[in-house]
Amino acid sequence: MVWPGSRFVVGEFHPVGEEKPALGHFLAVAAAMVSGAAWISAKPVLGYLDPLSFSLSQFGLASLYSFLWLAHRKRVADIAKIHPGQWAFLVVVALLFLGAVYTMWIGLSRIPVTTASLLSRLEILVTVLLGMALLGDRFTPKEVVGALVLFLGVVVLRYQAPSSFSAGFWMMVLSSMLFGLIEVLIKSRIHAIHPDVFAFCRNFLVFVFFFIAALWRVALEGDTWWKGLADWPGIERGLPLIAVTALAGPFLARTLFMHGLKHLDISRAALINQSQPLFVAVYSSILLRALPSRREWTGGLFILAGALILVSWRKGMQWGVSRIRAWRDREDSALPSGPEDRDS
């Protein structure tokens, strides 16, 4: 399979030794906890702020966070090393990410936060199915069981749900499908771009595309451009929570997970990452006073069990993360040693 600007061959996975397993476990758990916090901080704001205004402000802040991290890591100059083929790939990923995020926030605004987080685990199934189609992976019998269990959980969540649940449910399903597609694309090319540089470019491009969408809304509604660009009073009201969402979601959770992969095998990190809905349920019950219903608990247990089964035996697509870790290890070993060059 060939992507623009690069040729790669999917080979057998060769695991990289775990350097500091305890640190890797801590970073993987922290990534799951932080990503769960993003759902909780977003939910109240989406009650009064439209998803486009929320996304525009969120990715503006996420771009700032990512750039400051690049400056701290002394990697800003690496942006100029991205060649046109890689920029084309980044644009495609950013457009898909825009659709995935926008539909996710629409879904979250219409259904309970715990349900939305559980439905996001559909990304695992989509990633596996696309891996079969694009990367030549094969379904094992155990993965068939995992897929069926996960699908059963989705059916339980949807069964006898109120009519208001339907629109948000399908938005979350669409979002998960887009996120699954993004994961497969990233696994094919992320080894060619440093993860920190990739995160900044993705966040900034998504912000630019949301800005263009906001301008399009201004043109359709006929408002003065600054007034109609976003719901500024709503953004001002929810700015602290938007800042938390931007820090936790597009920036910090991914950064923690990527650094965790340097010390922990990908299969273990992916298993730990499936605990995110559990943290969302805990946060929701404490901070939002919203306890999951019996239907949500039952469907959620099936979804989590199916996701865990799929991740436990999904070996064929690990080559992408192996390349990330090997690439970063080679790069770090080539840098002069010093406090400023060490991973935080």
Query: SS3 string of the chain?
Result: CEECCEECCCCCCCCCCCCCHHHHHHHHHHHHHHHHHHHHHHHHHCCCCCHHHHHHHHHHHHHHHHHHHHHHCCCHHHHHHCCHHHHHHHHHHHHHHHHHHHHHHHHHCCCCHHHHHHHCCHHHHHHHHHHHHHHCCCCCHHHHHHHHHHHHHHHHHHCCCCCCHHHHHHHHHHHHHHHHHHHHHHHHHHHHCCHHHHHHHHHHHHHHHHHHHHHHHHHHHCCCHHHHHCCHHHHHHHHHHHHHHHHHHHHHHHHHHHHHCCCCCHHHHHHHHCCHHHHHHHHHHHHHCCCCCHHHHHHHHHHHHHHHHHHHHCCCCCHHHHHHHHHHHHHHHHCCCCHHHCCC
**Is there a domain that residue 8 lies in?**
no
Quote the pLDDT of residue 48. Answer: 94
Quote the pLDDT of residue 267. Answer: 62
Residues 6 or more apart from 35 whose CB is under 8 A from it? 248, 249, 253, 276
Average pLDDT of 142-152?
Answer: 79
> Of the ranges 51-60, 99-108, 324-333, which one carries the lowest mean pLDDT score?
324-333
Gyration radius of the chain over CA positions: 20
**Is there a domain that residue 5 lies in?**
no
CA-based nearest residue to 125, from 69, 87, 179, 60: 179
Quote the pLDDT of residue 285. Answer: 86
Average pLDDT of 253-276?
Answer: 76
- Domain of 319? 20-332
95 vs 198, residue with greater confidence? 95
pLDDT tier for residue 181 given thresholds of 50, 70 and 90: confident
Q: Look at the alpha carbons of 224, 228, 234, 237 in this order and tell me if their dihedral is positive or negative.
A: negative
Quote the pLDDT of residue 226. Answer: 66
Tokens of 97: 């990410």
Tokens of 254: 């991914």
Give the number of residues written for the chain. Answer: 344
pLDDT tier for residue 188 given thresholds of 50, 70 and 90: low
pLDDT tier for residue 262 given thresholds of 50, 70 and 90: confident
Tokens of 191: 């080894």
Q: CA angle 294-297-301, nearest 5°?
A: 145
| Percent of the chain residues topping a pLDDT of 90 | 31
The chain-wide mean pLDDT, for the chain, equals 78
**Is there a domain that residue 118 lies in?**
yes
> Of the ranges 120-124, 144-148, 247-251, 340-344, which one carries the lowest mean pLDDT score?
340-344
Report the domain count for the chain. 1
CA distance 50 to 304: 30
**Is there a domain that residue 49 lies in?**
yes
> Identity (one letter) of the amino acid at 213?
A
Quote the pLDDT of residue 139. Answer: 63
**Is there a domain that residue 151 lies in?**
yes
Q: Report the Cα 124 to chain-centroid distance in Å.
A: 12
Average pLDDT of 5-29?
Answer: 55
**Is there a domain that residue 184 lies in?**
yes
Average pLDDT of 49-65?
Answer: 95
27 vs 135, residue with greater confidence? 27
pLDDT tier for residue 312 given thresholds of 50, 70 and 90: low
For residue 289, pLDDT over 90 is answered with: no
Quote the pLDDT of residue 141. Answer: 76
Q: Report the Cα 230 to chain-centroid distance in Å.
A: 24
Report the predicted TM-score, pTM, of the whole model to 2 decimal places.
0.77
| Percent of the chain residues topping a pLDDT of 70 | 76
209 vs 337, residue with greater confidence? 209
**Is there a domain that residue 14 lies in?**
no
Quote the pLDDT of residue 147. Answer: 79
**Is there a domain that residue 175 lies in?**
yes
222 vs 146, residue with greater confidence? 146
CA distance 16 to 325: 8
Q: Return the residue matching tokens 């770090």.
A: 332
For residue 37, pLDDT over 80 is answered with: yes
Tokens of 187: 């696994």
Q: Look at the alpha carbons of 259, 203, 283, 181 in this order and tell me if their dihedral is positive or negative.
A: negative
Average pLDDT of 77-83?
Answer: 91
pLDDT tier for residue 344 given thresholds of 50, 70 and 90: very low
CA-based nearest residue to 60, from 245, 256, 257, 258: 245
For residue 212, pLDDT over 90 is answered with: yes
Q: pLDDT tens for residues 160-180?
A: 667 667 888 899 999 998 988
> Of the ranges 32-41, 216-225, 285-294, which one carries the lowest mean pLDDT score?
216-225
